[in-house]
Structure 1
Amino acid sequence: MKKTMHKLVCLALLGAAAGAQASVIISGTRVVFPSDEREMTVRLTNEGKEPGLIQVWMDDGDPNASPDKISTPFVLTPPMFRMDPAKGQTVRMLYNGTPLPQDRESLFWFNLLEVAPKPNADSGMNYMQMAFRTRIKVFFRPKALNSARQIEDAFERLQWSLKRDADGGYAVRLDNPTPYHINLIGLALAGADGKALYESEDGGMAEPGKGAEFKLKDMKAPPAGKFTVRYTYLNDYGGSVEKQTELPD
């Protein structure tokens, strides 16, 4: 089984031909795993017209690690299976009880590799075996931190500042003293009238107790007066939520 899993991962390196796309869809862009739960489920759907061979595994941050060399406190079942077109499959994510930090979230990743079927062998045509990989975040959240009020209050504790970067421009610095992962997909500086002055083309994530920087496009000097940071983050359900806060002097 280990050799087979390794071969499937190697297939992902072939890339995708123009116009090709994955058929198997994950219902959700992230998983929040409360520490007091024994298991969660991930729902998959094959929206294509052909069957596919599916392999799933977890990793702890290295996207290039081979599944047979990764150790995480989760077991996925089934780890490999066939999916017929227009069919669904539920993957169980089981937590084995290995102790994890209780003062902050821990981040893992759910991986899905879809191997498309071979063309008809009688066609006599050359072909390239295609594989498509999808990877989504899994946040293991301690029970004591799993409340909507605590999560909302965490955004009031975020620390923002304006920094010069190595290219002579500016970036907004986000320092995250909270126990949560803060995922941003958009950020802009706005003036007193609420109009965006400079925007960042970068998304990013600030891990608990760490920071992230978002470069502002075309900004060579700070604007005069007071201005605010407008940002969009992803919530537990993958939905985008907009907030704003005044940038300190």
Structure 2
Amino acid sequence: MKLLKKMTMEIVLAGMLLADGAAASVTVGGTRVVYPLDQREVTVKLNNDSYAPSLVQVWIDDGDPNAKPSEVKVPFLITPPIFRMNAQKAQTLRVMYSGEALPQDRESIYWLNVLDIPPKANRAHEANTLSLAYRTRIKVFVRPASLPGKPEDAPAQLTWKLTASPNGKGQAISVSNPTPYYVSFSEVDVESTGHIFTNKRGGMVAPRASTILPIDAMNAVAAGAKVRYIAISDYGGPIDGDAPLGE
């Protein structure tokens, strides 16, 4: 047990060595996980695309990306939690719902973390090589049975309004979601008087909630503007749509 705790701590500390532009050797087979609550478990496939083995740790958090795996409290078990992945091999994760109470009238969201620790350099010419751990973090949508409607139809039911930017500079758009499904965006554009104002950072709106998305507009959006969006489906594909922008 002490050895496992020590290993877990070392892996978590290694996970802090993340760098922009790094590439993970271990990849997740999908951009999101959908967990139907009427199923006992779902599986997630990992692949090690490199020619070297990796040590991998996986865990689920409830929204805090800085939470340590030993401290998170979520209603899911994931196995195996720590394992070695040989080069050019695959590994299947089993995610199991523990049965704790969750809302039954809307989706809940969690995040799956996959921490990829490459092997240490063991050759003379690799002595000065810096190896970085890489963490992949994707959304886990927990979906109760018998929710009304279809998730792919949810983006078309959103309502959009022009609002002031939260920082007090310029304009933003407020999007309201009357459906029981989360809706994520990869891009949102506002077309107004021949100009296009873009939010390329995307965003997400929770079920039966609203959120504000910034746009690159300084009080330039006029009445009659239109929103064009790219939402993301359960399979990671695009759902293109447009809607009027209210005031």
- TM-score normalised per structure 2: 0.90
- Which one of 106, 109, 121 corresponds to residue 108 of structure 2? 106
Distance 2:144 2:92 in 1: 24
Question: How big is the shift at 1:191?
Answer: 4.9
**Percent pairwise identity:** 42
Q: Deviations over 1:91-112 (max 9, x none)?
A: 1111111121101111111110
The answer to whether the 8 A contact 2:30-2:235 is kept is yes
Q: Deviations over 1:91-135 (max 9, x none)?
A: 111111112110111111111011100111656834545211101
Question: Quick one: structure 1 residues 157 and 107, their matched pair in 2 at CA, closer, same or farther if it must change by over 3 Å?
Answer: same
Distance 1:156 1:201 in 2: 19
Aligned length: 243
Aligned residue number for residue 155 of structure 2: 155
Distance 2:42 2:126 in 1: 45
Distance 2:221 2:81 in 1: 52
Aligned residue number for residue 11 of structure 1: 14
> Which segment drifts farther, 29-38 or 126-135?
126-135
Q: Deviations over 1:209-230 (max 9, x none)?
A: 3222222213423325x23111
Question: How big is the shift at 1:154?
Answer: 3.0
Q: Deviations over 1:111-167 (max 9, x none)?
A: 10111001116568345452111011001000012x7x4324433432210012234
Kindly report the root-mean-square deviation, in angstroms, between the aligned alpha carbons of the 2 structures.
2.1
Query: Does residue 246 in structure 1 map to residue 244 in structure 2?
Result: yes
Distance 1:20 1:211 in 2: 34
The answer to whether the 8 A contact 2:152-2:233 is kept is no
Q: Which runs of 5+ in 1 are unaligned?
A: none
Q: Which runs of 5+ in 2 are unaligned?
A: none
Question: How big is the shift at 1:14?
Answer: 1.9
Question: Quick one: structure 1 residues 122 and 151, their matched pair in 2 at CA, closer, same or farther if it must change by over 3 Å?
Answer: closer
Aligned residue number for residue 27 of structure 1: 29
Q: Deviations over 1:178-231 (max 9, x none)?
A: 221110111112258xx663222331111123222222213423325x231111
Correspondence list, 1:181-196, <5 A: 181-191=182-192
Aligned residue number for residue 203 of structure 1: 202
Give the AA of the match of 1:212: T
Aligned residue number for residue 171 of structure 2: 170
- TM-score normalised per structure 1: 0.89
Distance 1:218 1:124 in 2: 49
Q: Deviations over 1:20-65 (max 9, x none)?
A: 4211110101000001000000001111111101111111111111
Distance 2:58 2:181 in 1: 26
Question: How big is the shift at 1:10?
Answer: 0.9
Q: Secondary structure at the match of 1:217?
A: coil
Aligned residue number for residue 52 of structure 2: 50
Aligned residue number for residue 232 of structure 2: 234
Q: Secondary structure at the match of 2:74?
A: coil
